[in-house]
Amino acid sequence: MLRYNESMASHCSLRTGGMTDEFYIPESIQTLVEFLRKNIKPVLFVGLGSNLLIRDQGFKGVVIKLTQLNSLTIKNSVINIGAGTTLAKLSRFTSTNNLHGAEFLSAIPGTVGGALAMNAGAFGFEFWQFINSVQTINTSGEVYQRYPNDFDIGYRQAIPKHKDEYFISAELIFNHEKSKQSIKQLLTQRNASQPIGLPSCGSVFKNPDNHFAAQLIEQSNLKGFCIGGACISNKHANFIINNNNASASDVENLISHIQQTVKSNFNIDLETELKII
Ligand SMILES: Cc1cc2nc3c(=O)[nH]c(=O)nc-3n(C[C@H](O)[C@H](O)[C@H](O)COP(=O)(O)OP(=O)(O)OC[C@H]3O[C@@H](n4cnc5c(N)ncnc54)[C@H](O)[C@@H]3O)c2cc1C
């Protein structure tokens, strides 16, 4: 399905952002291959937009949202999953199949593709720990099988060594021991410390070495500080909330203000985890 002049605010969990020239949801890998063979515009692959801010000027190209590539199968304890499948669905699926290790994913709103690109993590686990292999597609529509050593994997990043390739599926192995905490307990823990249910992108900044971004922001007395409709959460200082029709510029200006304040107070540079396009 191809649409034109689509507002990205409805595809990003911050509920703000500019327009994209074209917006495409492929029904299958084959239709994506055919689309990319003909496409000459810049592409941006997205999942649930839970870590994404598109500037107010918008994206001059085609946003490709993979949520219909949501297949999920299991054979000999190896899970094969489409990049558009949600992490919540994956977490429930592993639990039903008596496999363990994916419990932490229940707390991360996103898709497999986004979690691969971000090396999403929580409660001491990271997504790439469980990856056997991935399928990628390049901008010409060619499909490849890749392995973890084809990527530079680190804290909240997985940089492909082969440029211009995007995730379309993954093979995962979950063989950990049963987690001491149930999915329900992990979600309760999350809800107690994060402003769940309000429009946000999760943690805005990566934790610098030996520090917690939230602590540095809180110690700068910035909790509750707003620019336009964008506010620093009173519940968790590393969360920005779209409180009142914030523009993408409000969010970005607030990010700059936090970075400058923390730099002048602690001489520490905060790097965004949020992807700004
Ligand atoms: C309330 C809340 C809590 C959160 N908690 C956590 C947490 O505990 N831990 C954590 O790590 N994150 C957390 N996040 C951030 C976010 O959920 C994760 O980064 C998630 O993995 C993003 O997935 P997505 O599918 O929404 O990706 P998007 O936000 O759509 O995209 C994120 C990045 O991945 C790229 N991308 C998306 N799909 C693909 C693809 N198929 N191929 C290549 N690149 C792709 C995008 O271009 C973009 O650069 C939280 C967010 C919210 C709103």
Domains, the chain, with CATH or none: 2-65 (3.30.43.10), 72-173 (3.30.465.10), 197-276 (3.90.78.10)
CA of 258 to the centre of ligand 1 (A): 22
DSSP-assigned states of every residue in 102-119 = -GGGGGS-SBHHHHHHHT
Ligand 1 — pocket residues by CB below 6 A?
A: 13, 44-52, 66, 83, 107-111, 113-115, 117-118, 120-122, 166-167, 194, 196, 200-202, 275
Catalytic residue among 156, 171, 218, 249: 156
Q: Whose CA is nearest to atom 34 of ligand 1?
A: 114
Task: Supply the angle between the helices 87-96 and 183-193 in degrees, to the nearest 10.
Answer: 150
Q: How confident is the model at residue 184 (pLDDT cuts 50, 70, 90)?
A: confident
Tell me how far apart the alpha carbons of residues 54 and 62 are, in angstroms, rounded to a whole number: 13
Active site residue 273: yes
The percent of residues above 70 in pLDDT, for the chain, comes to: 98
Active site residue 203: yes
Span 131-140, pLDDT tens digits: 999 999 999 9
| pLDDT of amino acid 183 | 81
Span 76-116, pLDDT tens digits: 989 999 999 999 999 999 989 989 888 899 989 999 999 99
Average the pLDDT over 257-269 and give the result.
98
Tell me how far apart the alpha carbons of residues 10 and 7 are, in angstroms, rounded to a whole number: 6
Q: How confident is the model at residue 187 (pLDDT cuts 50, 70, 90)?
A: confident
Q: Whose CA is nearest to atom 51 of ligand 1?
A: 202
